[in-house]
């Protein structure tokens, strides 16, 4: 008899999934049934009911172009799962907002450089600088979009996932916790 690595239940040696939790047997692809999500939530220390009731709104926290993270911030403030995603979504939104300001400043400078190039054709180095700056700005925007998609998918499927780089910026998360504290929410166990 094989043992399920997710819930510890016994299952047939040639079973493709655990009969108790639905987790894929070793060598099989993982299927995200409600039972698997509940097992994952319990492994993360979350209440399965909290995850199930909050994931429908938690994904909104990752839309970086508007402060939509405020929806789960207010609606699901008592949910530990939603608070996790609100912290990351708010940080992603702050990164996107700072990027937008910097992009405006850099675009203004690049526009000035392009105008200088038009009047002075002996400046090929400036043209290379304009191209590299444009590529860098595009790469940052693509990175923000990729992080947003990852966050949306993870939150909507009931998973906690710390986004690379984003989860390492504590300032916004501490600010969110401060406001949760002002609303009477205890975040000490998060």
Alpha-carbon distance of 107 to 4, in angstroms, equals 55
Higher-pLDDT residue of 99 and 112 is: 99
Residue 149 lies in a domain: yes
Q: How many CB atoms lie within 10 A of CB 14?
A: 7
Instruction: Give the model's pLDDT for residue 137.
Output: 86
DSSP letter assigned to residue 45: T
- Per-residue pLDDT for 76 more than 50? yes
Q: What is the CA radius of gyration of the chain?
A: 23
- For residues 151 and 59, the answer to whether their CB atoms sit within 8 Å is yes
Cβ contacts of 63 within 8 Å, gap of 6 or more: 69, 89, 148, 152
Q: What residues make up the domain containing 149?
A: 47-182
In this predicted model, which residue has the larger pLDDT, 121 or 168? Answer: 168
Q: Is residue 168, in this structure, part of any structural domain at all?
A: yes
In 3D, which of 52, 50, 152, 138 has the Cα closest to residue 99?
138
- Band of pLDDT at residue 146, cut at 50, 70 and 90: very high
Q: For the chain, what is the domain count?
A: 1
Residue 39 has pLDDT above 70, yes or no: no
Q: Are 130 and 117 in contact (CB under 8 A)?
A: yes
> What per-residue confidence (pLDDT) applies to 23?
73
Q: Is residue 143 part of a domain?
A: yes
Query: Residue 56: inside a domain, yes or no?
Result: yes
Domain assignment present for 96:
yes
What is the C-alpha separation between 171 and 169, in angstroms, rounded?
A: 6
Considering only 17-31, 121-135, 156-170, which range has the smallest mean pLDDT? 17-31
CA distance 139 to 136: 5
Q: Say what the pLDDT of residue 28 is.
A: 53
pLDDT of 2: 78
Confidence tier at 46 by pLDDT (50, 70, 90): low
Residue 88 lies in a domain: yes
- The answer to whether residue 189 sits within a structural domain is no
Decide if 128 is inside a domain.
yes
Give the integer Cα–Cα distance in Å for 91 and 105.
Answer: 21
Selection from 49, 80, 50, 76 nearest residue 190 by Cα: 80
d(CA 50, CA 58): 11
């Amino acid at each position: 008899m094989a043992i399920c690595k997710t819930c510890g239940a016994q299952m047939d040696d040639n079973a493709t999934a655990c009969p108790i939790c639905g987790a894929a047997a070793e060598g099989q692809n993982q299927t995200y049934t409600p039972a698997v999500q509940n097992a994952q939530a319990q492994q993360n220390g979350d209440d399965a009911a909290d995850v199930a009731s909050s994931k429908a709104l938690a994904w909104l926290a990752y839309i970086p172009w508007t402060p939509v993270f405020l929806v789960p911030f207010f609606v699901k403030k008592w949910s530990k799962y939603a608070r996790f995603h609100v912290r990351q979504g708010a940080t992603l939104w702050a990164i996107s907002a700072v990027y937008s300001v910097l992009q405006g400043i850099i675009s203004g400078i690049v526009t000035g450089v392009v105008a200088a190039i038009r009047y002075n054709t002996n400046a090929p180095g400036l043209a290379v600088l304009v191209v590299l700056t444009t590529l860098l700005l595009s790469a940052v925007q693509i990175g923000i979009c990729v992080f947003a998609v990852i966050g949306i998918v993870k939150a909507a499927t009931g998973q906690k996932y710390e986004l690379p780089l984003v989860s390492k910026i504590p300032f916004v998360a501490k600010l969110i916790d401060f406001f949760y504290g002002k609303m009477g929410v205890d975040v000490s166990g998060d």
